[in-house]
Chain A
Amino acid sequence: MPVQGDMMTPDAEALAKAAGGAARSAGQTPLEAGSPEMDLFTGLTRLGDNTLILGHRISEWCGHAPVLEEDIALSNMALDLIGQTQFWLGLAAEVEGRGRDADALAFRRDAWHFHNILLVERPNGDFGQTLMRQFLFDAWHAPMLKALEGSADARIAEIAAKAHREVAYHIERSADLVIRLGDGSEESHARMQAALDRLWPYSGEMMIADAVDLRLAHAGLIPDPASIRPAWDETVNHVLEEATLKRPEGNFAHQGGKQGRHSEHMGHLLAPMQWLQRAYPDAEW
C-alpha cells in the first residue's frame, strides 16, 4: 500500500520494485537489481512488451480498417506479435523463476513494470499514423531480430529466428504502404508527412542503450540497441526518399518506456486489456 512518503520519492523504479515485491506471493524474493538474471529478465520484457503493446494497439483496428485487405493484414500482424509475446514473456518468466508465466506478466503487471518503448503505446490515430508507427518500428525490429539470432543464449536465438521470418513480411508491407501513400494523392502525402513528424521524436528511444542494455550486449545476449541504428537509418532514408517524405531534422528522443516511465496512454491501454484477469483473479480462462 503506497504511503504519503511515496509521493515524495523521486525514484519511481525503487517504488515500483517495492510494490511489485509485495504483490508477489509470500516468501518470493524479487530478482536483485543489477544481477544477470534481472538484466536478462528486463531485456526480455523489453522485447516482449514491445510486441505485446504494439500487437494490442493494432488489434484495436479489427473490423474498422479502410479496406478488407487491411483488416486481414492487420489482424495477421497482431497475431504474429502476440505469438512473439508468448515466447519472449514466457522466457522472461522462466528466467525470473518466481512462478509467473507469460500471462501473469502480460495481465498482472502495472504500467511501471512494463518496459516497452513509448512509440508502441502511441494511440492509433488515423490509419496513416498507425502505418507510420508500424514502419518506424519494423525498420528497427527486423534488424534487431536478425542480430538476436546470434545471441549467446540459444533460446533467444531460436525465438528471434522464428520471429524474424514473420517480421521480414511486416517491414516489406509497411515500407511498401508508406511509399505508396507518401507518393500518392496530395492528402495521403500530407497525412503521412504529418504522421512522420508526429512520431519521429518517439523513434530514437529504441536505439539508445542504458546500463542494462550495455551489460546484456557485453554478455553477448542482446545486441546494443545503438548498433541497430545504421540499418534503421538505411531503411528509413531509402523508404522516405521513395515516398517523397521529408525526414524530420530534429534528433530529440522521448525516453522512459524502457525504464517503466510511460505516457498517460499506457494506463488506458492496460485497463481493458487486464480487466478480466484483475476482476476475477481466481478464474481460469
Chain B
Amino acid sequence: MYAQMVKSEATNDDPEMLAAFQARIDAGERIEPKEWMPEGYRKTLIRQIGQHAHSEIVGQLPEGNWITRAPTLERKAILLAKVQDEAGHGLYLYCAAETLGVSRDDLTEQLLSGRMKYSSIFNYPTLTWADIGAVGWLVDGAAIMNQVPLQRTSFGPYARAMVRICKEESFHQRQGYDLIRKMAEGTAEQKAMAQDALNRFWYPSLMMFGPSDKESVHSAQSMAWKIKINTNDELRQKFVDQTVPQAQFLGLTVPDEALAWNEDKGGWDFSEPDWNEFYEVLKGNGPCNVERIEARQKAWNDGAWFRDGLMAHAKKRDARRQAAQMAAE
C-alpha cells in the first residue's frame, strides 16, 4: 500500500449537508472536484493522494539504483520503462491532488521538509539485482492489492487515476516475477540472491498494508467515505494467499516458520511483521530514510535554476507577445 496510516480529518460541517453527502457515497456516486465535500474528506484525500504520489517519486530511487547496472540491454530497457511509469503515476496523482486545491509545489515542499510521508517500503535498500525482481513481485504486488479496490473509490479523479495505474502496475509485477524466476532458476549464486531478496523484502512488504485496523479509528471514517475500501488485515491476508504459492513455484522459502495452510479459513496463517521496526522506519530510522530524502532535496535544490530559467523565459515571451500586440494595434 503506497498510502499508509493516513489520518482522517475531523469535519465540522453542517450535519444536514454531511448526511446528504454520505447518502451520495452510500448510493455509490462519484464525487467530482467542483462538488461540495466535507472539509475532512478533502483534507484526508489530499493527505492520502499526496502520500501515494510521493511514494511513486521516492520509489524511483531504489529501482533507479540498478538502472546503470542492469545486466542486459533488454533488462535495462524494462527497468527504465518501469521507473518512467512510476514518475508518470506520480504526475497523475499530483494532478488528482491539485483538483482538491493544493499545488504540486506545495506537496513537494511538505515531502522535502518531512511533514508528509511516503511508503515505508522505499526506505529499504536494493542490494542485489534480484532485489529489482523482488520489488516488482512483492512491492508492486502489495501495491496492486490496495489499488485495485481503489478504482472504485468515491473521489472521481483518484478512481480514474487508479484505473490506469493498476494496468501498468500489473505489468510491472509480471516483469518483476519474470526477473526473479530467471534468478531462481539460474546459477547457485543467482538463486542465493533470489532467496536473500525474498528474505529481506517479505516482512517490509507485509508492513506496506499498515498495522491492524483494530487499532485505528481513522480507518472507520475513511471506509465510510469509501476512500479506503478494505481493511489492512483483509488486504494483507489476500497478499499472503496470493504470494505463497508463487514463492513455492520458484522453489524459494518464505522466511516464516509459522507459515501454515489453515483449512478452516481457506488461507495461510503467517507471522506478523515486527511493528516496532515499522514505527522506527516511519520515524525516520529505516536503513535509507536519510539518503532518500536527501536525494530528493538535492534534485529539487539543484534544479531550482532550471525551473526559474523556464519561468523567466515564459515571462519574457509573454511580454514580447504583448508588446507585439500593442504595436499591431
Contact = CB atoms under 8 A, between A and B. Distances in A.
Query: Does A associate with B in a complex?
Result: yes
A158 interface: no
A75 B309 contact: no
A110 interface: no
B73 A106 contact: yes
B286 to A, nearest CB: 18
Contact of A72 (B74, B88, B311): B88
B309 A67 contact: no
Interface string A29-65: 0000000000000000000000010001001101111
Interface in B162-192: 182, 186-187, 189-190
Nearest to A275: B69
B87 A185 contact: no
Contacts of A107: 71-72
Nearest to B185: A284
B309 A63 contact: no
Interface residues of A, number: 51
* Size category of the binding interface on chain B: 35 or more
B310 A79 contact: no
Interface in A174-211: 179-181, 183-185, 187-189, 191
Nearest to A273: B68
A184 B312 contact: yes
A63 B302 contact: no
B129 interface: yes
Interface of B: 57, 60-61, 64, 67-77, 80-81, 83-84, 87-88, 90-91, 94, 104, 129, 182, 186-187, 189-190, 295, 298-300, 302-314, 316
Interface of A: 52, 56, 59-60, 62-72, 75-76, 78-79, 82-83, 85-86, 89, 102-103, 106-107, 126-128, 179-181, 183-185, 187-189, 191, 272-273, 275-277, 280, 282-285
25 contacts: A59-B68, A59-B80, A63-B295, A66-B306, A67-B303, A68-B90, A68-B94, A75-B84, A79-B80, A82-B77, A83-B77, A86-B74, A89-B73, A126-B302, A180-B313, A183-B316, A185-B309, A185-B312, A187-B309, A188-B309, A188-B313, A272-B69, A273-B68, A276-B129, A283-B190
